Structure 1
Amino acid sequence: MAIKGVLFDFSGTLFRIESTESWLRAVLAEADVTLSEAELVRTAEQLEAAGALAGGALPEDPLPDDLAALWAVRDCSAEAHRAAYTALSRRVPLPAARLHDALYDRHMTPAAWRPYPDTAEVLGALRERGVAVGVVSNIGWDLRPVFRAHGVDPYVDAYVLSYEHGVQKPDTRLFAMACDALGVAPQDTLMVGDSRPADGGAADLGCAVHFVDHRPVAERPDALRPVLGLIG
């Protein structure tokens, strides 16, 4: 069977969010707020433990019932996504209340994201081979500017984002929308992602699935390249 279309997850697959410390430093600098180095490092550690950075670590502690319910559907709308992550951020004391929204806003900027070293290479090779490419992401905001800013948008034929459809992975409806957008049958499609619970849902639709590890950019130079060997 020849693969005619490849669907990619975004965070942890094609791109990686900056570190929690880098995220906090950027927001404090923009807001002209100063913390001592020790305070900054401690606050970054607390934010990471809280799971406040979307695309970063998951919350370490059990969430209260109301926040747990919001967390479960956070990727179904822009409003739920912002509410969930700013609620997590607010579990950590910050020097000014406005910083919680500023942190959320920062994570949506292209500067907060880096493509993996082989992202452009693999997407470009798929385009050269005539393989359709889609991005299927559980997310609460428009990631297209990130792809444009990093020069890889020309390689993507369709974006299917959970918040735009009110459906999040592993629901097979999201993968079906992506296959339809590419004009490729699920049986001729490969889904590439870092989450077995979420991205593995594509297998229930009949797609082949390939997983990569969600690791820092410097630690994962070529995990996407094997995808090219899976294209018959």
Structure 2
Amino acid sequence: MAAVLFDFSGTLFRIESTESWLRAVLTERGLALPEPELTVAARALETAGALPGGASPERLPQELAAVWGVRDQSAQLHRSAYTGVARQVALPDPALYDALYERHMTPAAWTPYADAAEVLEALRERGISVGVVSNIGWDLRPVFREHGLDPYVDAYVLSYEHGIQKPDPRLFKVACDALGVVPHDVLMVGDDRRADGGAAALGCAVHFVDHLPVSQRPDGLRPMLNLIG
């Protein structure tokens, strides 16, 4: 393999829990909810699929179905989709919906998987290029910089910057071109069999990891090193 492409959320990084997300925003805005109410609200937000990088909606409102399907094609669509599903949940201040969206874009909301740095460093030592290919509506580069992983990444290919989202093979082609490699020499690593599996149509090898909390997946990335020799 000449290069490895990684997904972002659920592959290299994991978003905080829905309860932590809500609690942080309430604290930032000087608001408080009784613990039982906070727990209920957090569960409702999770069921709604309001946390980007978290659970998918259990029931998507019909009026949001169209934007949800293309949410990763632009920053505006991404914000509209996630604040839209969040607004299905009653919160004490209308400003909280945008505040929650802003929170999820901060480095503090994300934690790298325990073996992410080790694996990225190993690839760098072997002279293998690394790209990050993500369906996303905002610039994740500050997250990588804050957590010290940016030096290991040679190219970022973000759906909202190209108006294309996975599994469209064109997004993976952009990444291959950015790294100067041909698809048959590339391994795509991700957690979503549909989205990340789209790389196979281009001729890339594909390896899947489980989208689990950081504490439950201490070494999910290491096995892929065996695939590249």
Shorter-chain TM-score: what band? over 0.9
Q: Is 1:38 matched up with 2:46?
A: no
For 1:165-204, what aligned pairs fall within 5 Å after superposition? 165-204=162-201
Out of 13, 24, 27, the residue aligned to residue 25 of structure 2 is 27
Structure 1: tracts of 5 or more residues without a match: none
Deviation at 1:197, TM superposition (A): 0.5
- One-letter identity of the residue aligned with 1:39: E
Q: Which residue is 1:11 aligned to?
A: 9
Q: Which residue is 1:138 aligned to?
A: 135
Q: Is 1:89 matched up with 2:82?
A: no
Structure 2: tracts of 5 or more residues without a match: none
Q: Is 1:101 matched up with 2:126?
A: no
Q: Which residue is 1:157 aligned to?
A: 154
- One-letter identity of the residue aligned with 2:51: L
Q: Distance in 2 between matches of 1:132 and 1:37?
A: 47
- One-letter identity of the residue aligned with 1:53: L
Q: Distance in 1 between matches of 2:7 and 2:114?
A: 16
| 1:130-168 CA distance string (max 9 Å, x none) | 000000000000000000000000000000000000000
Out of 60, 64, 70, the residue aligned to residue 67 of structure 2 is 70
TM-score, normalisation: structure 2: 0.99
Deviation at 1:62, TM superposition (A): 3.5
Q: Distance in 2 between matches of 1:230 and 1:62?
A: 38
SS at match of 2:187: strand
Q: Distance in 2 between matches of 1:193 and 1:62?
A: 24
Structure 1's consecutive aligned runs of 4 or more residues displaced over 4 angstroms after TM superposition are none
TM-score, normalisation: structure 1: 0.98
In angstroms, what is the RMSD of aligned CA positions?
Answer: 0.5
Q: Distance in 1 between matches of 2:60 and 2:197?
A: 25
SS at match of 2:132: strand
Tell me if the contact between 2:7 and 2:132 (Cα under 8 Å) persists in the aligned partners. Answer: yes
| 1:2-23 CA distance string (max 9 Å, x none) | x000000000000000000000
Q: Which residue is 1:227 aligned to?
A: 224
Deviation at 1:227, TM superposition (A): 1.3
Tell me if the contact between 2:48 and 2:60 (Cα under 8 Å) persists in the aligned partners. Answer: no
Q: Distance in 1 between matches of 2:147 and 2:27?
A: 23
Q: Distance in 1 between matches of 2:112 and 2:48?
A: 25
Question: What is the count of residue pairs matched by the alignment?
Answer: 229
Q: Which residue is 2:45 aligned to?
A: 47
| 1:97-152 CA distance string (max 9 Å, x none) | 00000000000000000000000000000000000000000000000000000000
The share of aligned pairs that are identical, in percent, is 72
Q: Distance in 2 between matches of 1:152 and 1:44?
A: 30
